Chains A and B, each alone.
Chain A
Amino acid sequence: MQLVKKSYTAETDENLMREVIKGDNLAFSEIYDRWSKPMLNYFYKMLWQDREKAEDFMQEIFTKIIHKPQLYNPSRAFKTWIYSVANNMCKNEYRRAEVRKGTSNSLHDNIIVHDSSAPDKEHDKNIFNDRLKEELELLSENHKKTFILRFKHDLSIKDIAEILETSEGTVKSRIFYTLKKLGKNLKEFSPVAKTIMVGMCLIELVQYII
């Protein structure tokens, strides 16, 4: 009689999902341990950095796995499947947000709008990070999703195309468009601009001393 069940830590996501479909709660626990954190952070990024909303969505996606595990096709990569489900949930939430926006005519509370012309903060790295986050929030949904999946979750062009149900060419063009736009909006942080600004500061400092 087997008293201790085998460990699932070495199993692939696809095999774990096969066990989940059979009703194995340990396999589900392992799946949750692997994917709860990435899903929470994805929803957090995609849903206006609202932690509570992100946790609700994360719980909802795993509830879907519990109630309808057969929706997952084991021949498909689990990673792309779970991101595509998350993406569809985000789409639905965007639609609902549009409706709310139309009625309340107000911006989402969590979206922080900064005055990009504030020159004081541009010297600091943290300021660059803040600016970049702001710029990311101002991107369109599709460009933002593509950019986050590519640079935060480190997915391949092919996987992103599968998740977003689009072609690889579209994914590539979206990435370049986003990079160009961010680069233009943050051009003062480019190495050349930095050098010029450091030089100007030094000149101002010398003049002040003299």
Chain B
Amino acid sequence: MMEDRNRSKMDVEFYLLNREYNELSSDELAIVKEHVESEQEFNEMKAVVMGVGNIFKEEKELEPNPAIKVALLKEFDKQQPAGAYWLNGIFVSLFPKEKKLFQKPGMQLIGLAASVLLIVTIAFNGNTDINNSTLAQNEGVKTEEEAVEEVSKLEREEVDEEKNLLENDLEPIVEVLEKEIEVAPLYEVEIEEKPETVENNLTTTAFMYDEQPIESVAADLSSVPDADYRRNDNNINESEESFNNGISKDEEKGAIADDKLVISAVTPATIEVVEEFSIEDDEGYFSDDVSVAAGALDTGNNSVDLPVNSRTLADDADLIGILYTAM
């Protein structure tokens, strides 16, 4: 029976295939009668349609020759530029549908490979007796991969050890460096301060020697015209005299400033003693000071009224003793 998908109810063919003449409704009969004159004609046409359907259905259809496809595919490959080779393309050529199972090239190749494998297996079977005790066995030999793995493992361990050693060595260095970085400014400070400290120490030492007499004598100095004179830079005579003694004015001032208290400690009564002491002393520091003080005393610009009751050092041995102690 032919399919009705291409036939509508407006086609007479539909009624020829699916209805008997006496089964047609009035509407269907009206459609049929537009093309068919009588019931006999309808039946004749129906016989043809049914018979044709059976003929074409039962008719053995021709199968195309497989060689035509092969030739056409070759022609197609010639015509088209060489493209990608697909695995299923290879599969199609190895296992064509048209050929029988054992005529397929793929099957023939598989058979050939199996035969070769079988022959090789049989041929070498007698010479590969593993259990033969005469064969040399070397079980301890490591494979190449194992050897490479072992070497790489050792190398890794060495590298790790080196790393650890480097880290351990670096730690104290880093600590020392950090400490140095912290300490360095302190040294600088100390180095800068050192000269001052030395000077200070010196002055302090000097100060310490005269600490007690300073305070007691300083008050006396303020009342002494000599002291005022020493603070007055305009006193030319004094400067000249100082110059004659080999001391510049500035040095003199510094000496005065630095050793003011020392000088102040020298009272008019002790000038001679100091003078003697200064001569014996190797340092010109005190001798200069003393000379300045002595000069100052000798000068008569500012008259100094020495107390009448003053005593010489020779008169007072105790005073000398105290002085030595103070020194």
Contacts and interface: CB of A to CB of B under 8 A. Distances in A.
A156 B6 contact: yes
Interface string B110-124: 000000000000000
Nearest to B89: A26
Given A63-B75, A175-B13, A186 B62 contact: no
B44 A186 contact: yes
Given A4-B87, A36-B69, A66 B76 contact: yes
Nearest to B48: A182
Tell me the interface secondary structure of chain A in the complex. helix
Interface in B34-92: 35, 40-41, 43-49, 51-56, 58, 61-65, 68-69, 71-73, 75-77, 79-81, 83, 86-89, 92
Contacts of A29: 69, 73, 92
A51 interface: yes
B2 A154 contact: yes
Nearest to A181: B48
B325 to A, nearest CB: 110
Interface residues of B, number: 47
Interface string A31-65: 01100110011001000000100110011001100
A191 B43 contact: yes
Contacts of A155: 6
Contacts, number: 124
The residue in B46, B56, B77 that gathers the most chain A C-beta atoms within 10 A of its C-beta is: B56
B12 interface: yes
B56 A151 contact: yes
Contact of B48 (A63, A132, A157): A132
Tell me the interface secondary structure of chain B in the complex. helix
B3 interface: yes
B12 A176 contact: yes
Contacts of A44: 62
Given A23-B80, A187-B44, A191-B47, A28 B64 contact: no
B72 A63 contact: yes
24 contacts: A3-B86, A5-B87, A7-B88, A23-B81, A26-B92, A29-B73, A32-B72, A33-B97, A36-B64, A36-B69, A55-B64, A129-B51, A129-B54, A132-B55, A151-B49, A154-B6, A155-B6, A157-B6, A176-B12, A183-B45, A186-B44, A186-B47, A189-B47, A190-B40
Interface of A: 3-5, 7, 23, 25-26, 28-29, 32-33, 36-37, 40-41, 44, 51, 54-55, 58-59, 62-63, 66-67, 128-129, 132-133, 147, 151-152, 154-157, 172, 175-176, 179-180, 182-184, 186-187, 189-192
Given A41-B61, A156-B6, 11 more contacts: A4-B88, A5-B86, A25-B73, A26-B92, A32-B72, A132-B52, A151-B52, A152-B56, A155-B6, A184-B44, A190-B43
